């Protein structure tokens, strides 16, 4: 298949080519490893053209109608409730984390509450030990949703709030020179911050606040429900309707002669961590399915995630085969994979991508796990992607937090970030996903992806590959469908990996796999700034509410558990909030590159630390004007430009109609003239 021409030479006035061609970052798109020294994106010239056009329009036509919001200083929060106040580095940077929307100016004796939220305890004369601007005395309030601190010692007054769901653990710390009755507490959060407070033990209200903080930060450990079940906000859009499995598979052209949408798992008996609806080969019997399930880890049989619209090559996901040290075989499993290969007439090979390190896969094999043997699976090619396990990723993020919070060593910044290996693991994920996508697109081969159990690295790889291959998933709603499908319905263990409401912070099951995936998406957005309909704020909102427990979207670890807990009827969806104000999360430079495949450059020199997320609590690392404010202004400018384009089109159409009418009159028999044909 022909490659797309050099992105740098792309004409800014031309629309994207509608054919399905790979889009790479950098010079010659014939090689995905091409140099990228002078161009940040394949659509760089188009983006620059947009920027120049907007800049030219800003002063002459639009500036009077789009007054920018001028923050009191770079620490000001963007929500209305933050007006007249100073937000510290530990405060919420964006209004989405509070979901107050149109809240009035906060009075000093009031705590802003979301619907269903109640105040549990309040204490005065509590000291906040700010790592950036020193200690502050103020009032600390704990609700069943957040911690809220306010101090009048500065002008403007100082606010700090932390969603309780973001708290990982509470630790007692020593406080110097404040008397023997003074206690200190460090609130270690999952979102890269750790605010500290000091208080007097003899004050009963202080002790009550700390008791309520412990109780409501970890509600499941204290016999309480998660706050999402108390949250009573009503939205004009129902986010639970975003994902319809049948509709999504139908969009992909399923079912067809080779694949069927099966209800075999409708009661979750075949696999309790899989969704009720599965896409499986048409000519596999129920008995064979059950035998395959017994041979795959956690009964996670190979099922289709995505199918190529032209070649019918497919992405299939599953758990590892339980071959064990004795190399057990399962004839039904071997036939199952052969059937998957046969469903794609374009290729006579099947590629298996095992996300694990080969040494770890061998260790798993000694413990009754393992991988497919090419001796038993004919025409199968096995590849190990050498991605470390969840424990390595957890340790890497811990090291990264030490680098970025509370202080940053400017002289050792690059070496310190490198020492965490975080970007190296991001590179491994992106490189693995590129191999998966390229095998389908260029190799026209179906692929099977698995790790150990098929719910961590497998979800990372399949969803990233689908994001590269299918432009639908790069839209605002399409990305929501991708998360609902590949992560939520297919059983990523959010409850274990995030630890919602659980005080057991040392649980070895905790790991930032979903954060890593969103980071990879951000890296792709940075390389292809016009290819995604959503913006960076959308990704940050997703991660904030991964922890907040305000919405039911990321609660629990399987579709079965969510059905049992009646999540859809008893909680709100994050997508209800997002889609009710979609303009806040929209990318003003978005161009719908339909049928374009994105191949991001997966080398460390093309990757960056996501400072806007990991280092956002440090006021010295923030832009003077919030990025999302600029994006909203650009969206308004784009809407104005689009309106003017439509007006011009109407004028041209009217002119064309008048010209046609005039030509018709002049060519009538009474004038004896020759018909004239004009075009506008």
Q: Are 80 and 97 in contact (CB under 8 A)?
A: no
Identify the burial level of 642 via C-beta atoms within 10 angstroms of its C-beta, where 0-12 means exposed, 13-18 middle and 19 or more buried: exposed
DSSP strands (E only) in 273-366: 278-281, 303-307, 314-317, 350-354
Q: Which residues contact 157 (CB under 8 A, 6 or more apart)?
A: 84, 85, 86, 108, 150, 151
Q: Are 598 and 524 in contact (CB under 8 A)?
A: yes
CA 174 – CA 184 distance, rounded (Å): 6
- Return the closest-CA partner of residue 192 out of 609, 630, 626: 609
- 451 among known catalytic residues: yes
Q: Are 340 and 350 in contact (CB under 8 A)?
A: yes
Q: Residues, the chain, total?
A: 680
Identify the burial level of 408 via C-beta atoms within 10 angstroms of its C-beta, where 0-12 means exposed, 13-18 middle and 19 or more buried: middle
Question: Is-cis flag, bond preceding 156, omega within 30?
Answer: yes
Catalytic residue chosen out of the listed positions 130, 271, 451, 520: 451
The alpha carbon of residue 442 and the mean position of all alpha carbons in its chain are separated, in whole angstroms, by 27
**Cα-Cα-Cα-Cα dihedral of 493, 494, 495, 500, to 10°?**
170
Q: Are 536 and 93 in contact (CB under 8 A)?
A: no
Q: Are 597 and 20 in contact (CB under 8 A)?
A: yes
DSSP H/E element including 85: strand 85-87
Q: Are 167 and 236 in contact (CB under 8 A)?
A: no
Distances (CA, A) of 373 to 258, 296, 488: 25, 14, 31
Identify the burial level of 221 via C-beta atoms within 10 angstroms of its C-beta, where 0-12 means exposed, 13-18 middle and 19 or more buried: middle
Angle at the Cα of 431 (from 319 to 31), degrees rounded to 5? Answer: 135
**380-384 and 350-354 strand pairing:** parallel
Catalytic residues: 451
């Amino acid at each position: 298949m022909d490659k797309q021409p050099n992105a740098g030479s792309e004409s800014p006035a031309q629309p994207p080519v509608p054919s399905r061609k790979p889009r790479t970052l950098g010079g010659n798109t014939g090689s995905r490893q091409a140099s990228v020294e002078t161009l940040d994106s394949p659509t760089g010239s188009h983006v620059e053209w947009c920027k120049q056009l907007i800049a030219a329009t800003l002063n002459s036509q639009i500036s009077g109608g789009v007054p920018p919001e001028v923050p009191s200083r770079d620490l000001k929060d963007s929500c209305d409730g933050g007006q007249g106040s100073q937000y510290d580095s530990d405060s919420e940077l964006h209004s989405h984390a509070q979901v107050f929307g149109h809240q009035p100016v906060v009075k000093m004796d009031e705590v802003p509450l979301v619907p269903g939220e109640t105040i549990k305890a309040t204490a005065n004369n509590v000291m906040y030990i700010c790592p950036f601007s020193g200690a502050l005395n103020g009032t600390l309030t704990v609700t069943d949703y957040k911690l809220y601190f306010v101090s009048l010692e500065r002008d403007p007054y100082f606010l700090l709030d932390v969603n309780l769901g973001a708290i990982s653990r509470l630790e007692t710390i020593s406080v110097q020179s404040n008397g023997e009755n003074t206690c200190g507490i460090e609130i270690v959060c999952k979102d890269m911050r750790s605010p500290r407070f000091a208080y007097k033990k003899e004050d009963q209200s202080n002790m009550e606040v700390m008791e309520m903080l412990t109780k409501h930060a970890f509600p499941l450990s204290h016999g309480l429900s998660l706050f999402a079940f108390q949250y009573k906000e009503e939205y004009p859009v129902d986010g639970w309707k975003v994902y319809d499995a049948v509709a999504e598979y139908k969009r992909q052209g399923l079912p067809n002669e080779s694949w069927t949408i099966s209800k075999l798992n409708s009661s979750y008996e075949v696999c309790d961590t899989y969704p009720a609806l599965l896409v499986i080969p048409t000519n596999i019997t129920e008995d064979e399915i059950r035998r395959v399930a017994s041979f795959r880890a956690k009964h996670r049989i190979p099922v289709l995630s995505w199918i190529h619209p032209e070649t019918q090559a497919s992405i299939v996901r599953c758990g590892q085969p339980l071959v064990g040290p004795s190399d057990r075989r399962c004839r039904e499993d071997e036939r199952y994979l052969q059937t998957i290969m046969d469903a794609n007439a374009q290729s006579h090979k099947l590629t298996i991508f095992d996300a694990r390190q080969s040494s770890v896969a061998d260790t798993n094999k000694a413990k009754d796990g393992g991988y497919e043997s090419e001796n038993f699976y004919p025409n199968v090619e096995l590849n190990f992607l050498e991605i470390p396990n969840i424990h390595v990723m957890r340790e890497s993020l811990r090291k990264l937090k030490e680098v970025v919070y509370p202080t940053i060593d400017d002289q050792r910044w690059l070496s310190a970030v490198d020492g965490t290996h975080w970007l190296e693991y991001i590179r491994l994920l992106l490189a693995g996903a590129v191999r998966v996508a390229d095998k389908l697109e260029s190799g026209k081969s179906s692929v099977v992806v698995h790790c150990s159990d098929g719910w961590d690295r497998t979800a990372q790889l399949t969803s990233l590959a689908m994001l590269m291959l299918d432009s639908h998933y790069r839209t605002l709603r399409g990305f929501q469908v991708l998360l609902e499908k590949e992560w939520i319905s297919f059983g990523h263990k959010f409850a274990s990996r995030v630890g919602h409401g659980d005080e057991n912070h040392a649980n070895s099951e905790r790991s930032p796999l979903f954060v890593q995936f969103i980071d990879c998406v951000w890296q792709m957005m940075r390389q292809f700034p016009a290819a995604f309909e959503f913006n960076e704020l959308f990704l940050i909102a997703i991660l904030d509410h991964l922890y907040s427990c305000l919405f039911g979207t990321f609660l629990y670890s399987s579709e079965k558990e969510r059905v049992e807990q009646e999540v859809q009827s008893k909680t709100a969806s994050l997508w209800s909030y997002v889609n009710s104000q979609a303009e806040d999360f929209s990318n003003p430079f978005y161009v719908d590159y339909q049928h374009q495949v994105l191949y991001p450059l997966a080398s460390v020199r093309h990757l960056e630390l996501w400072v806007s997320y990991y280092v956002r609590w440090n006021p010295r690392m923030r832009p003077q004007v919030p990025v999302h404010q600029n994006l909203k202004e650009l969206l308004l400018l784009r809407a104005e430009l689009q309106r003017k384009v439509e007006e011009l089109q109407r004028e041209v159409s009217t002119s064309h109609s008048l010209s046609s009418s005039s030509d018709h009159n002049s060519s009538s028999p009474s004038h004896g003239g020759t018909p004239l044909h004009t075009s506008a």
